[in-house]
Amino acid sequence: PPDDEWTLHASGRIGGGERVLGFDTTVWPPKGATVVDVEGLYDRYAGNGLEYGPVFRGLRAVWRRGEEIFAEVALPREVGDADAYGVHPALFDSVLHSTVFASTDGDDRSLLPFAWNGVSLHASGASALRVRVTPNGQDAVRLAAVDVQGEPVISVESLALRAAGPSSAGEARRDEANSLFRVDWTPVTPESAAPETDWVVLGTDELGLTGALASTGAARLRAPVRSLAELLAEAGASGRDDESLPGIVVVPLKGDNARSAESAPELAHELSRHVLELIQQWLAEERFAGARLVFVTRGAVEDGVHELTDVAAASVWGLVRSAQAENPGRFLLVDMDGTAESAAALPALPALADSGEPQAVVRSGTLRVGRLARLESGTGLVPPAGVPWR
C-alpha cells in the first residue's frame, strides 16, 4: 500500500577502478600455517539451520597462521559454466564458508555476510580459488581471493558478519512451514435452493450424465445436443431465444484411458483444443450471457483420498481456470467420482454456481469446494526456538 513505510534492506555504490588485496601464493600452503580440520563443517551449518547442497559445498581445505585463515575452494567437476560468470555464485559462496573459522568467540555460530565495503572483481571465469581471510574488527574480515596461478580475482576490504544460529534459522524454518498451504476440498451446502432451470447435455456423454440427471428429475432436460451451434439454431427456430436457451449447459469430458500412456500428451492437447473452442464460442455469443457452461470430469482431480486417473481431463481444469479468471461467473468446473450418490447431487450445481464457487468436486454425494489450508508437517518435529537442538 502507498501509505506503508519502505524498509531499506541494502544500499550500495558502484564505481570504476580497483583496489587489489593480493597475497603471495608462491608457497602453498603458506609457510607456518597449520591444517584446520574442515570435516563436519557442513553438518555444523546444517545444525544452525543452513543446509547446503552438493554444488555449494566447495570448501576443500583450510589452514591457520595466527589470525590469518587460508583456504582452497573449488567447484565440483560437473559444474562446467564457471566462465559464464564474473565469479560463479556457488564458488563465491564457498569463499565465504571459510569465514566461519574467523570467529573470535569460540562458539558454534555460523557467520553470514551482513555488510560489504570495498568489493573489487579483478578477473572472471575461475573454477577454483585460494583465499586469505584476515580479521578487520569484531565479527568483520578482509578477504582476498586469487586463482591457482596467483592472479587476483576478488578483493573485499571489509565484510561484516552476523551469526546465524537456531534462534534465527530455526524461526525462519518455522515461519516458512507456517506459510505453506494446500487446497483442502471442504464440504459445502449451497445457501439457496437449486433454482429450477433448463438443462442441456452437450456432445458425447461418456460419463452418463444424461441418465443421472433424468433419474433425479432435473427439470426440462435436453440431451444430447451435439454443438452450441445446434443449440442456437433450435432457439432461433422457436422464435423465443430467451425462453428456449437453457440456464445450464453441461459438457461431459473424458480422456480415452484405453489409449497408451505415450499418447497421453496428444490426448490432452485434443481435449484442450475442444474445450478452448467451446469457451470461445460461448463467450462470443451474447445470448449465453445469462447461462453457465459446466465442465464435468471424472478422476481429473486428486483430493487427498481419490487419485488422479484422467490426465487429459486434468489439463482441461488448468485451461478453464484461466478462462474463469478472465470471465468470472461464466464457467463451472466439477469433478465427479462416479457413484450414484454423487449423481444425485447434480441438481445442486445451479445453486452452487449462483453462490460464486468456480469449481467443486463431488465425492460420495457430497459437494466439496476448494479452500486453502495450512500444510501440516505430519510427524516431523519443529526445532524449539532460542536453544541449540540436534
User: Strand 68-74 relative to strand 110-121: parallel, antiparallel, unpaired?
Assistant: unpaired
Q: Would you state the cell numbers that stand for residue 361, as one nine-digit string?
A: 468436486
SS3 assignment, position 165:
coil
Domain regions of the chain by residue span: 34-163, 181-374
pLDDT value of residue 384: 57
User: Mean of the per-residue pLDDT values for the chain?
Assistant: 85
Gap between the Cα atoms of 304 and 378, Å rounded: 14
Q: What is the pLDDT of residue 379?
A: 45
Q: What is the pLDDT of residue 48?
A: 77
Q: Which helix (H) or strand (E) holds 36?
A: strand 34-36
- Give the tens place of pLDDT for each residue, 181-213: 888 999 998 776 566 788 999 999 999 999 998
Amino acid making up residue 201: V
User: Do residues 144 and 23 make contact, with C-beta atoms less than 8 angstroms apart?
Assistant: yes
Question: Residue 101: helix, strand or coil by DSSP?
Answer: helix
| Structure confidence by residue, pLDDT tens digits, 366-384 | 999 999 888 765 544 555 5
> What is the rounded CA–CA span in Å between residue 173 and residue 171?
5
Helix (H) or strand (E) holding 363, with range, is: strand 359-363
Residues of the chain predicted below pLDDT 50: 379-380, 390
Rounded Cα distance, 132 and 95, in Å = 9
Q: Given phi > 0 = left and psi -120 to 50 = alpha, else beta, which region is 234?
A: alpha
Tens of pLDDT, residues 290-333: 999 999 999 999 988 889 989 999 999 999 999 999 999 999 99
Phi and psi at residue 194, in whole multiples of 5°?
-65, 125
According to CATH, what is the number of the domain 34-163? 3.10.129.110
Residue 298: strand pairing partners: 336
0.75 exceeded by pTM? no
CATH class of 181-374: alpha beta
